[in-house]
């Protein structure tokens, strides 16, 4: 007896839902991998910022010391003030750039996190829909490992002796 059209459509719909879920799973895995990469990049950027900040703090201490020593000589005082201002502006610019990069990476991570949450929610919704359809159709759950397909009985075939094919012939088996 052939399956009825509604059951066939329901089975096709279930297969399509499963394909959608599989695609979403792959997307989630890719996004998680991208998120991990972004996190590693952010950690490296943060480490660079910390190293730069330590170097800049050391540079500021050196400049302050040189300024105190150079007060007695007017030429050196003038040069030290200019140099100190350049270092400060470079420090501010560098700090702003790193802050912008950190902020951008955090925004990206947050957007990816929200996307992953939405995909997980949609997956759960699809699973509930599939489960509801299965219950409505009294169909076995394809995601459970409990059901098995019955093997089809194959008629016994006589053994056919293999005859080597010549080059260019087509094997119909």
Q: What is the pLDDT of residues 91-134, one digit of tens each?
A: 899 889 989 998 998 999 899 999 999 999 999 999 999 998 88
Record the pTM: 0.31
Q: Which residues contact 124 (CB under 8 A, 6 or more apart)?
A: none
Q: How many CB atoms lie within 10 A of CB 80?
A: 19
Separation between Cα atoms, residue 46 and residue 98, nearest integer Å: 8
Would you state the pLDDT for residue 20? 94
Domains and CATH numbers, the chain: 5-135 (1.10.287.1700)
Reported as a single tens digit per residue, the pLDDT across 16-30 is 999 999 999 999 999
Would you state the pLDDT for residue 6? 72
């Amino acid at each position: 007896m052939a399956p009825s059209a509604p059951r066939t459509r329901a089975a096709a719909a279930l297969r399509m839902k499963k394909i959608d879920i599989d695609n979403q799973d792959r997307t989630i895995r890719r996004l998680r991998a991208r998120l991990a990469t972004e996190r590693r990049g952010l950690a490296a950027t943060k480490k660079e910022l910390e190293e730069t900040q330590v170097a800049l703090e050391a540079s500021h201490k050196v400049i302050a010391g040189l300024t105190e020593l150079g007060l007695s000589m007017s030429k050196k005082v003038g040069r030290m003030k200019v140099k100190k201002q350049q270092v400060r502006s470079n420090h501010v610019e560098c700090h702003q750039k790193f802050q912008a990069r950190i902020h951008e990476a955090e925004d990206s991570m947050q957007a990816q996190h929200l996307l992953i949450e939405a995909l997980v929610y949609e997956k759960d919704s699809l699973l509930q829909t599939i489960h509801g359809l299965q219950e409505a159709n009294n169909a076995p759950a394809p995601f459970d490992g409990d059901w098995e397909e019955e093997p089809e009985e194959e008629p016994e075939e006589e053994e056919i002796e293999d005859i080597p094919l010549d080059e260019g012939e087509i094997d119909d088996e």
